[in-house]
């Protein structure tokens, strides 16, 4: 009887290992399996996204290359447009009669400043002259700013201006009121010539 009590107390003591919970083991295995499947899914999704990204990049690069023109075609189109522009300029010159009075710039125009008409003032402006000046030159930045400086250097005043820019050239007609007669007109012409050539300080 005492031996039986000792055996019973042994089985009831903490020395006896806990019984294995097979349900917990199955749950652990299922959890491990889900984690493994989740990692594989993430890896596959990353692989697919990288493949799509690479495909989109290659497609975009192919589209850019297909739209990019070679140098020969660009040069050919530039020459065609230049010829068309020159033809338009000659037609406009023919319509307005050509000559210095024509406001449309042509390809054969030289850089020049020409005083083509003088008018005597009236009333209070009787001692003043209105000089019509034709300015023809290459168009460039700050050209009109230089023209304004040139007019101010001879203490003249622009009453009216007409300007046409075509094919990189500019023609401008200025009606200028100046104060010093022939001398003032010569000074104005010299100042505008300097402005046309970009020599204004």
Name residues whose C-beta falls within 8 Å of residue 188's C-beta, 6 or more positions apart in sequence.
115, 131, 133, 150, 151, 154, 156, 176, 178
| Within a domain: 167 | yes
How many other C-beta atoms are found inside a 10 Å radius of the C-beta of residue 138?
14
CA distance 180 to 193: 18
Please give the residue range of the domain that contains residue 77.
66-201
| Within a domain: 163 | yes
| Within a domain: 99 | yes
| Within a domain: 147 | yes
Question: Tens digit of pLDDT for each residue in 78-92?
Answer: 888 878 877 777 776
Report which listed range, 80-89, 115-124, 145-154, is most confident.
145-154
Predicted TM-score (pTM) above 0.75: no
| Within a domain: 90 | yes
Report which listed range, 13-22, 29-38, 85-94, 152-161, is most confident.
152-161
CA distance 117 to 103: 15
Dihedral of CA atoms 14, 18, 19, 24 in degrees, nearest 10, equals: 160
| Within a domain: 85 | yes
User: What CATH number did the domain enclosing 97 receive?
Assistant: 3.30.70.260
| Within a domain: 35 | no
In this predicted structure, the answer to whether residue 188 has a pLDDT above a threshold of 70 is yes
How many domains is the chain partitioned into structurally? 1
Average of pLDDT values for 170-189?
75
The mean-pLDDT minimum among 23-32, 38-47, 81-90, 167-176 falls in 23-32
| Within a domain: 39 | no
């Amino acid at each position: 009887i005492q031996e039986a009590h000792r055996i019973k107390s042994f089985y009831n003591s903490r020395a006896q290992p806990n019984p294995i919970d097979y349900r917990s083991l199955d749950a652990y295995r299922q959890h491990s399996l889900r984690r493994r499947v989740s990692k594989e899914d993430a890896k596959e999704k990353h692989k697919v996204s990288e493949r799509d990204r690479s495909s989109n990049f290659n497609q975009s690069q192919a589209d850019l290359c297909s739209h990019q023109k070679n140098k020969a075609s660009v040069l050919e189109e530039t020459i065609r447009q230049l010829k068309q522009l020159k033809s338009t300029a000659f037609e406009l010159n023919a319509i307005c009669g050509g000559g210095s009075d024509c406001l449309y710039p042509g390809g054969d125009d030289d850089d020049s400043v020409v005083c083509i008409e003088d008018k005597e003032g009236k009333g209070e402006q009787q001692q003043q002259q209105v000089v019509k000046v034709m300015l023809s030159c290459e168009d460039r930045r700050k050209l009109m700013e230089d023209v304004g400086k040139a007019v101010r250097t001879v203490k003249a005043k622009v009453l009216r201006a007409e300007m046409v820019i075509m094919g990189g050239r500019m023609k401008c007609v200025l009606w200028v009121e100046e104060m010093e007669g022939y001398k003032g007109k010569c000074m104005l012409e010299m100042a505008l010539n300097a402005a046309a050539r970009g020599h204004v300080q």
